[in-house]
Amino acid sequence: MADIIQLLPDHVANQIAAGEVVQRPASVVKELLENAIDAKANNIKLLVKDAGKTLIQVIDNGHGMSVTDARLSFERHATSKIRSANDLFQLHTKGFRGEALASIAAIAHVELKTKQAQDEVGTFLTIAGSEIVSQEVTVTPKGTSVAVKNLFFNIPARRNFLKSNQVEFRHITDEFHRVALAHPNVAFTLIHNGSELFNIPKSNFRQRIVNIFGAKTNERLVPVNETTEVLTISGFVGKPEFAKKSRGEQFFFVNNRFIKSGYLNHAISAAFEGLLKDGAHASYFLNLDVPPETIDINIHPTKTEIKFDDEHTLYAIIRSAVKHSLGQFNIAPLLDFDRDANLDTPYDYKNKSAQVPKIEVDSTFNPFQEKQTSSAPRAAFKKPSSDHWDGLYVGLESKGNNEQQAAGFDALEFESTAKTGTLFKEDSKATFQLHNKYVISTIKSGMLVLDQNKSHQRILYENFLQQLTLRESVSQQLLFPVLLNFSPQEIDIIKQVKDDLEHTGFVFSKFEDRAVEISGVPINVPESEVNDVLEQVISAIKNDVPDSHFSAMDLLAKSMAKSLAIKTGQSLTNLEQEHLVNSLFACKEPNMSPNNKTTFITLSVDELDKKFN
């Protein structure tokens, strides 16, 4: 049999490697920003066009590269970060495998301009599909500029898998936030299609969080600081009352590198146990400094997952540190069984001496005397005689109202226990509520059991979808407009679905960089729920952004129905229960919720009879 195994050409191998490193334009942004950080740049500018499909350019003022290094940097496995395998466990830089630039150059047109401080002129390289088109001398400032154009130009299939510009740019913004948060000592600028979206100066970590997520974030942060032999924790967690329904503001940085860890995230959730509403997620921005030899970064192509030597210890320390901070700043109650709160001394009396109590005794007082013998005026005390005790109650029944009022009987009140209704009455109910979760109704064949939350979601979903489709809605004007604070990214999402939201009844009176003012809401949306509804919409669009207009309306109707539906645990009156049943079966598809969950089941009399056989 002939030999069938052969070596792949370099350009094919680079394209395969690019599939691991470059999944979308945001992957290119991440690699280029991290390279600029490794070059010791303190000012980085990111320019993006058409969500990175047309152009991604990163300009930094770092060390720059020589002519040889500029040419060699696009070769596979060429790196200045490591020399041996042992260096993988002493990493202090971002990129180290030497695959990023080679993979990017294999699937795009790349232009590189770089110059070192001691050189008079720089180097200008042009690369297309792993092939160097030209190399010239150019005049350029110190640092490096990498422009990636026409991403996936030679792999049309990969380009077709890219989402809409809104989706792809949202991923780019996420990567930008992660790198910017990890390095507050570096100034960052983000420009998209000629518009400057972020211009973040050098600052401390707290100010960097505020610059990215808005000024209102400052008052929501609780500092966390803990130093141990195996781990140093610094950063902030969000107050429980400001928890959101999305996981957008959750950041772990290990040695200034953003990571994702469901295990460590569970430690944060455990620290917030009992403080968050159902479905709410705490915000956190935590820096974890660990010895480099105790972690393995090289287990995932995107380097967002890290393997720890002792995850259990880190879990316990993080949970304890966050819980301690919440208690220290009076966010969570502290339990100290060794301290009696009754013995606490007010601060005003802290330095005052105790006063000796004085005891005054009237030596002339005699309770058995009818009149006092003391010269001091005292109230007369007369002991009733018990000789004629049987006459004490004579004539009590014939006393008039005046005497009764004098005796104080007019103010008498009699205690009575509240009447409690029974489940079964003479006039039988058509519906019953079970555990404030299910609504039970009788039907000819047996009984009907509804899930009140899922059923109400279906009812609201069809109502909202009809309003969005027919553009018929009724708005309730607010006496005082509501001003809600969001991040610039969230404001951009609201602007995208502004027209659809207005068709459901929302009225937006003003848009600012980090806030939106609402002067009208749909009739069935309470003013207190407006913020939760918009957060649910933002979260839904972030996680599943549609490309067509119809699916956008469908997603909006689903998210609003989920936030406004009757919650599990809510008690319903008999009239509300009947209305829920009737409204559900007036829907076009009453069997399923908007998320394809069963809304009701039926139990026939025969099925019930079998249970008793």
Residue 337, phi-psi category: left (phi > 0), alpha (psi -120 to 50), beta (remainder): alpha
How does DSSP assign 257-290, residue by residue? Answer: EEE--HHHHHHHHHHTTTTS-TT-B--EEEEEE-
HSE on the CB side for 118, CA within 13 Å?
Answer: 3
CA distance 437 to 569: 6
Q: Is the pLDDT of residue 21 over 80?
A: no
User: Which residues of 150-230 form beta strands (DSSP E)?
Assistant: 187-192, 195-200, 221-227
What's the pLDDT tens digit per position in 1-12?
567 787 777 666
Q: Which two tokens stand for residue 436?
A: 């404030």
CA distance 133 to 56: 19
Q: Is the pLDDT of residue 38 over 90?
A: no
Q: Which two tokens stand for residue 584?
A: 């559900």
User: Which residues of 475-570 form beta strands (DSSP E)?
Assistant: 475-485, 507-511, 515-522
Task: Grade residue 155 by pLDDT with cuts at 50, 70 and 90.
Answer: confident
What's the pLDDT tens digit per position in 481-516?
888 888 777 888 888 888 888 887 888 988 887 788
CA distance 442 to 478: 41
Q: Is the pLDDT of residue 233 over 90?
A: yes
Q: Which of 279, 284, 276 is nearest to 319 (CA)?
A: 284
What's the pLDDT tens digit per position in 106-118?
889 999 999 999 9
Neighbours of 7 (CB within 10 A): 7
Q: Which of 164, 168, 160, 171 is nearest to 549 (CA)?
A: 164
CA distance 431 to 447: 10
Q: Which of 444-458, 498-512, 547-561 has the highest mean pLDDT?
A: 444-458
Q: Which of 51, 58, 4, 65 is nearest to 32 (CA)?
A: 58
Question: What is the pLDDT, as a whole number, of residue 180?
Answer: 94
Helices (H) and strands (E) in the chain, counts: 17, 22
Task: Grade residue 422 by pLDDT with cuts at 50, 70 and 90.
Answer: very low
Q: Which residue has the higher pLDDT, 512 or 61?
A: 61
Q: Which of 173, 126, 225 is nearest to 25 (CA)?
A: 173
**What does DSSP say about strands 307-308 and 295-296: parallel, antiparallel, or unpaired?**
antiparallel
CA distance 170 to 612: 58
User: Which residues of 43-142 form beta strands (DSSP E)?
Assistant: 43-49, 55-60, 109-115, 122-128, 131-138
Burial class (CB in 10 A: 0-12, 13-18, 19+), 190: buried
Q: Is the pLDDT of residue 304 over 80?
A: no
Q: Average the pLDDT over each of 4-18, 152-166, 444-458, 486-500 and give the range with the smallest value.
A: 4-18
Task: Grade residue 333 by pLDDT with cuts at 50, 70 and 90.
Answer: low
Question: Do 484 and 515 touch, CB atoms closer than 8 A?
Answer: yes
**What does DSSP say about strands 250-254 and 438-443: parallel, antiparallel, or unpaired?**
unpaired
Q: Is the pLDDT of residue 127 over 80?
A: yes
Task: Grade residue 395 by pLDDT with cuts at 50, 70 and 90.
Answer: low
Question: What is the pLDDT, as a whole number, of residue 385?
Answer: 58
Residue count of the chain: 613
Q: Which of 189, 281, 184 is nearest to 234 (CA)?
A: 184
Domains of the chain: 10-200 (3.30.565.10), 205-328 (3.30.230.10), 434-601 (3.30.1370.100)
**Average pLDDT along the chain:** 80
Vertex 98 angle, CA 93 and 104, to 5°? 115
What's the pLDDT tens digit per position in 176-192?
999 999 999 999 999 99
Q: Which of 239, 236, 241, 275 is nearest to 252 (CA)?
A: 236
Q: Is the pLDDT of residue 14 over 80?
A: no
Question: What is the pLDDT, as a whole number, of residue 425?
Answer: 41
CA 495 to chain centre: 20
Three-state DSSP at 506 gives coil
Residue type, 484: L
Give me Rg for the CA atoms of the chain: 36
Q: Which two tokens stand for residue 597?
A: 């969950």
Beta bridge partners of 111: 126, 147
Question: Do 56 and 143 touch, CB atoms closer than 8 A?
Answer: no
**What does DSSP say about strands 109-115 and 122-128: parallel, antiparallel, or unpaired?**
antiparallel
Burial class (CB in 10 A: 0-12, 13-18, 19+), 345: exposed
CA distance 130 to 298: 25
CA distance 595 to 562: 9
Q: Which residue has the higher pLDDT, 429 or 179?
A: 179
Q: Which two tokens stand for residue 238?
A: 């969000």
HSE on the CB side for 244, CA within 13 Å?
Answer: 23
Question: Residues 442, 447, 449, 450: what is their CA dihedral angle, to the nearest 10 degrees?
Answer: -50
CA distance 367 to 373: 11
Phi, psi for residue 545 in degrees, rounded to 5? -80, 125
Looking up tokens 């000629």 gives 194
Question: What is the pLDDT, as a whole number, of residue 103?
Answer: 84
Report the interhelical angle of 205-213 vs 165-182 (nearest 10°).
160
Question: What is the pLDDT, as a whole number, of residue 48?
Answer: 95
Looking up tokens 């390289």 gives 125
